[in-house]
């Protein structure tokens, strides 16, 4: 297994000697981040739709009427509100943790948890405590929590007090579940997009340029005159790309943290998972372009054609919710859309626009499809 590491070192040293690669792959992402961070300083991201979870563990009549009341609220609210109802199970604690996990993972702005004893306690004691779960540092989450609180106050007044069931308001316990108690700045919103842009540009341009150029000048033939296999070649190249992407992340994060004041921790399991998925996606695109292009000029032309549309339609710099509805199918099919939204949700910057399973499935489909097509077409032993 020493051959792939030796190849990775060779590829890396070769790329460090290219001044154009040093600029476009290492310096340009930092320049772009600085420009956007300064130009759009103070811009706040608006939420187009609020998503809340109703985790109702009460099977009694009063608990069931909460859902009806929320339905009325969604029609009368001056903002878009979508309510997802979690099916009650025998284990009410499991219901609570399901709702908590959805809020923590960015699938909902807030959650309302109704305990199993809600109806019984209201009848017997005249009060029962419910819980509202929301995220720190996100305006949409705070707004959703406030909307749920107002709903509960109105629900207690109109339905319970007037019927003589409840003498006082419903006690509400508000719990923050993740994030930081501070506003989110635009530089923090755009930081995941800049990281993905750096991955994508390296995959589209750096990978095909190195592979096809090596084929054109016959370097690959020399490699395969040795016991080196194609798998070792690709593994070595992938390790080199992985190191480059890691350095890109560290440089971009350090600049955002110390020069622009962005306070984001990338050392979260979900964040690291989406970063690795972004690296794999960019590499798979690079190998695919290397396979279908006969010359380096053709590869660069194809990469240029794909680069900017994929970035802007992937919401790397602005929210995808601001895109026209006619482009929605392009957003869903674009892996950058799901990678950017997944990264931001994992960092507590927003909630997922699409379900988590879709945000994982689309990039994985692109990765597997690209690698299969590349494996069928690429012939590393050929000169061109």
- The model's pLDDT over 14-66, given as tens digits with 9 standing for 90+, comes to 666 777 777 888 889 998 888 887 766 654 444 446 788 888 888 777 767 77
Element (H, E) at 176: strand 172-179
pLDDT at 353: 77
Give the mean model confidence (pLDDT) for residues 137-154. 74
pLDDT at 136: 67
pLDDT at 177: 58
- The model's pLDDT over 303-338, given as tens digits with 9 standing for 90+, comes to 999 998 999 889 898 877 666 777 788 889 999 999
Give the mean model confidence (pLDDT) for residues 343-363. 86
- Let me know: does 346 contact 106? Beta carbons within 8 Å: yes
Q: Is the pLDDT of residue 219 over 80?
A: no
Q: What percent of the chain has pLDDT over 70?
A: 72
User: Mean pLDDT for the chain?
Assistant: 78
End-to-end CA distance of the chain: 27
pLDDT at 202: 92
Domain ranges of the chain: 2-43+184-377, 50-179
pLDDT at 50: 76
Task: Measure the CA–CA gap between 218 and 211, rounded to whole angstroms.
Answer: 11
Contacts (Cβ under 8 Å, ≥6 apart) of 305: none
- Let me know: does 30 contact 255? Beta carbons within 8 Å: yes
SS3 119: helix
Reference 141, options 112, 109, 173; nearest CA is 109
Task: Measure the CA–CA gap between 41 and 30, rounded to whole angstroms.
Answer: 16
Q: In what order do the strands lie in the sheet with 110-114?
A: 81-86, 50-56, 110-114, 130-136, 172-179
Q: Beta strand 110-114 with 50-56: parallel, antiparallel or unpaired?
A: parallel
pLDDT at 75: 52
Residue whose tokens read 């309302």? 112
Compute the chain's Rg from CA coordinates: 26
Q: For the structural domain made of 50-179, what CATH number should be given? A: 3.40.1710.10
Burial class (CB in 10 A: 0-12, 13-18, 19+), 101: middle
Reference 200, options 354, 377, 363, 47; nearest CA is 363
pLDDT at 252: 95
- The model's pLDDT over 120-133, given as tens digits with 9 standing for 90+, comes to 777 777 677 888 88
């Amino acid at each position: 297994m020493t051959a792939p590491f030796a190849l990775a070192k060779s590829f890396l040293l070769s790329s460090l000697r290219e001044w154009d690669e040093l600029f476009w792959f290492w310096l340009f992402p930092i320049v772009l981040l600085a420009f956007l961070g300064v130009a759009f300083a103070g811009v706040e991201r608006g939420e187009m739709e609020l998503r809340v979870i109703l985790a109702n563990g009460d099977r009694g009549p009063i608990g069931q009427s909460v859902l009806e009341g929320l339905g009325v609220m969604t029609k009368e609210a001056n903002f878009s509100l979508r309510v997802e109802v979690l099916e009650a199970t025998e284990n009410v604690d499991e219901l609570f943790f399901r709702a908590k996990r959805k809020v923590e993972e960015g699938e909902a702005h807030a959650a309302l948890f109704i305990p199993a004893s809600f109806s019984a306690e209201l009848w017997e004691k005249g009060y029962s405590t419910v819980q509202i779960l929301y995220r720190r540092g996100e305006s949409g989450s705070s707004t959703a929590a406030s909307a749920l609180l107002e709903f509960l106050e109105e629900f207690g007044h109109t339905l319970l007090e007037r019927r003589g069931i409840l003498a006082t308001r419903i006690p509400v316990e508000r719990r923050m579940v993740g994030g930081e108690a501070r506003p989110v700045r635009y530089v923090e919103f755009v930081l995941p997009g800049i990281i993905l842009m750096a991955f994508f540009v390296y995959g589209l341009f750096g990978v095909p340029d190195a592979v096809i150029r090596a084929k054109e000048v016959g370097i690959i033939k020399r490699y395969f005159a040795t016991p080196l296999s194609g798998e070792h070649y690709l593994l070595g190249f992938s390790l080199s790309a992985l190191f480059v992407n890691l350095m890109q992340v560290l440089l971009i994060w350090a600049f955002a943290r110390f020069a622009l004041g962005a306070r984001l921790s990338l050392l979260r399991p979900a964040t690291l998972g989406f970063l690795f998925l972004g690296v794999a996606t960019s590499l798979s695109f690079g190998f695919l372009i290397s396979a279908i292009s006969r010359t380096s000029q053709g590869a660069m032309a194809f990469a240029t054609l794909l680069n900017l549309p994929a970035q802007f339609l992937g919401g790397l710099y602005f929210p995808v919710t601001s895109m026209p509805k006619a482009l929605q199918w392009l957003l869903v099919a674009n892996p950058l859309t799901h990678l950017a939204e997944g990264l931001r949700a994992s960092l507590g910057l927003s909630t997922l626009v699409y379900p988590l399973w879709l945000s994982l499935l689309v990039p994985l489909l692109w990765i597997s499809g690209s690698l299969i097509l590349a494996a069928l077409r690429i012939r590393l032993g050929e000169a061109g």
